[in-house]
Amino acid sequence: MLPARRVLAIDTAMNQCAVSLLDPLSGNALRRVMPMTHGHAGALVPLIENVVKDSGEGYDSIGLIAVTTGPGSFTGIRVGLSCARGLALALDVPVRGFGTLETFARQSLETGHPEEGQSLLVLIETRRQNLFVQSFDLQGHPLSPACDSALDDIPFSDSAILLGDGAARLRACRPEFTLLPCPENHQMIDTDFLARWAANEEASSAPPRPASPLYVRPADVYGPPGR
């Protein structure tokens, strides 16, 4: 049985600030998205207030919160998780965390992909030379752990479907990758999908997903000189 109250989904892990508010019983969702690489902290709360207001209900209509946990932008991940945890505490509702790379894979499986593909390879930008990478089977189960990988170290597979905003850079740098094209709607996280996934897991009594950050490399933070 689906949750009776609405599900709020949040994604700030990458180059967008996105929220969706889903009514699980009707399947209707309100979504707001702002493309950005910086400024998630200032944009997120107004977006949430916007969808709650437009729903015609108050915050007390929210019964579950879903949030992406990374890998991705360190600042973006912290902003999304802090907001999700704070709202969950204030509203006394559960919060579930979902890996960015796994969410890409799962939303691709929901909306369809080329039948000839045998696996999914999800790649997202790091704004550095490397990419965040993880592979999945066609049921969405991980075939490898999430990692921060150099382009030359990404294992070759000529039957993989490439997903995520790092796909174009891999193709440009590794022409031997004759990988299947990524559908245009799989470049960023779909928070409508994330809300549906969280609602289904909650309804099926799936084990809780901790809303904890998934970091696969150290933060770019340095102390004062000499320390």
CATH architecture of 111-186: 2-Layer Sandwich (3.30)
Q: Residue 115: its pLDDT value, please?
A: 57
Question: Roughly what angle, to the nearest 10 degrees, separates helices 74-91 and 40-55?
Answer: 40
Helix (H) or strand (E) holding 169: helix 167-173
6-99+189-203: in CATH 3.30.420.40: yes
Nearest Cα to Cα of residue 208 among 92, 96, 104: 96
Q: Residue 222: its pLDDT value, please?
A: 43
Sequential pLDDT tens for the chain (227 residues): 566 689 999 999 989 999 999 999 899 999 999 999 899 999 999 999 999 999 999 999 999 999 999 999 999 999 999 999 999 999 999 999 999 999 988 988 887 655 566 788 899 888 788 999 999 988 889 999 999 999 888 877 767 778 888 888 887 877 766 555 555 556 789 999 999 999 999 989 899 899 999 988 665 544 454 54
Q: Parse the chain into domains and list their residue ranges.
A: 6-99+189-203, 111-186
Q: Residue 188: its pLDDT value, please?
A: 86
